[in-house]
Amino acid sequence: MVAISKPPVELSFLKPCKQTNNNHHPIKLPTIPIIDLSKSESKHLLVKACQDFGFFKVVNHGVPLKFINKLESEAMKFFSSPLSLKQKAGPPDPFGYGNKHLGQNGDFGWVEYLLLNLKLGPDHKNPTISVFEDNPEEFQCAVNDYVTAVKKMTCEILELLADELKLQARNVFSKMLLDEQSDSVFRVNYYPPCPEIQEQEMIGFGEHTDPQIISVLRSNNTSGLEILLKNGSWMAVPPDSNSFFVNVGDSLQVMTNGRFKSVKHRVVANSLKSRLSMIYFGGPPLNEKIAPLPSLMESDEASLYKEFTWFEYKKSAFNSRLSDNRLVVFETNHNISS
């Protein structure tokens, strides 16, 4: 059995212990919206979830379990490999293998990851995957099968949203993911167990919003994901390896002129068990113009955001810290939410 390498414990990863409720009154937490894609009412519930939470869980999603299990198995093989082998797939540029360092601006986390470029297409070999000594084609095939199925489900969700919003073109969101130049990426995060930390919690991935249109996450049954509620408190998301969790991205928030909310989220490391998450980030082409959709706005409604291209926003996000409000520099004077 190969020992899984662990990043060293650093104080910058720590966050204070959870505060106790001294009033002894039970704190009522909201319930994560659950969307059953097989039900006719899913359109209405999807829009409500995007407005109220910016986050929801999807069941009866249609993604074959064999694709999920295969990719998880292949990913665990990689992260269980010797560090020297994994480092051949790095350092990230931004694609490749990374360990602890998140971006170029000083963010750290108790995490190892693989970030893969989806623009290469199924017929091109991803250079990151070439480090797999046994059978790199098997991992590439697992990624392709999984991403193709998840992308199909994601486009279905975006088209259901467009239907419920009464948009004339139901592919107004999904066409950006289906475009050959779509700047979508795929990330696999591995959070090793951290038994050294008991009295405090270890930040696996710091608080942030996702800049793309939409992100779709699936993880194993280890807890750790938390979302930030409107009252400023963090809510733990119960894990469910058979379902997907969906985040509204910053770009979708802009396109709906703030109707949909891009929610801040983070991951806290587990002291006993490892966590593996696989995330599809649905992004538009680099030259795509992002702005509130005129067809969604009332006649007297002011635009809360300036128009920008995805390239401009991506560049701005790349030069920011994880926890920064990346949209603030693109807000108009009419946006008083900040």
Whether residue 218 contacts residue 241, with contact meaning beta carbons closer than 8 Å, is answered with yes
The predicted structure's pLDDT at residue 120: 61
Query: Are the C-beta atoms of 146 and 67 separated by less than 8 Å?
Result: yes
pLDDT attached to residue 1: 36
pTM: 0.88
Q: What is the pLDDT of residue 187?
A: 95
Say what the pLDDT of residue 203 is.
84
Instruction: Tell me what pLDDT residue 125 has.
Output: 56
pLDDT at 319: 85
Please list the active-site residues.
Answer: 275
* Phi/psi at 95 (5° precision): -80, 145
Please count the CA atoms within 13 angstroms of the CA of 26 that sit on its side-chain side: 3
Whole-number pLDDT of residue 18: 45
Binned average pLDDT, 10 residues per bin, the chain of 338 residues:
42 45 53 94 96 96 96 92 85 83 69 86 57 72 94 98 95 97 95 72 86 97 93 93 97 97 92 93 97 92 96 91 87 67
Predicted confidence at residue 21, as pLDDT, reads 45
Cβ atoms within 10 Å, residue 312: 16
Angstrom CA distances, 46 to 58, 69, 92, stand at 10, 26, 35
Task: Give residues with Cβ within 8 angstroms of 284, minimum separation 6.
Answer: 176, 177, 179, 182, 183, 212, 213, 251, 290, 310
Rounded to an integer, what distance in angstroms lies between the CA atom of residue 101 and that of residue 243? Answer: 29
pLDDT at 296: 93
